[in-house]
Amino acid sequence: MNHSVLDVLMYLFETFSEQEHEEATDQDVLRQELLRAGFGEPEVDRALDWLEDLNRDPDRPFPSAPTERSLRLFSSLELSRLDAACRGYLIYLEHIGILSPLNREIVIDRLMALGAGEIDVEQVKWVTLMVLFSQTGQEGAFARMEDLVFEENTGLVN
């Protein structure tokens, strides 16, 4: 099967997010479970590396954390991978208070680390959910984001 790193991460999130922290963080157990589930070894290894990077010291990747008054300019690489809809969605999440400027930077960092081509809004939603889940003190933002991820896209009938 041809799975992406995000497919592996979504499987992990959906399968292990309710389990005890110790049980869900044993990388050997996770690795074996993912291989048994049919994911390829390269994708599993990249997904576990992605998670390890997510759980590192949050101050390390962004020594000069953005403030509320910071203006975010996207790099050429970010512009090539995050279309206007993705960038707009990130701004929307920050505007409604789900993402802080620092968490926005972590989400962008983790999106870029997926290694895939162009990123879509669904991927932004899932990565945001995973980032918020990993951050202490973000339970309210996580719950709001979870509603956005799992809400049905139903159209209005006139």
Written in H, E and C, the secondary structure of 68-108 is CCCCCCCCHHHHHHECHHHHHHHHHHHHCCCCCHHHHHHHH
* 39 or 15, which is more confident: 39
Full-prediction pTM beyond 0.85? no
Given phi > 0 = left and psi -120 to 50 = alpha, else beta, which region is 142? alpha
Residue 156 has pLDDT above 80, yes or no: no
108, 117 contact by CB (below 8 A): no
Mean pLDDT of 124-149: 94
Residue 61 has pLDDT above 80, yes or no: no
Beta bridge partners of 119: 82
102 vs 141: CA distance, rounded Å? 13
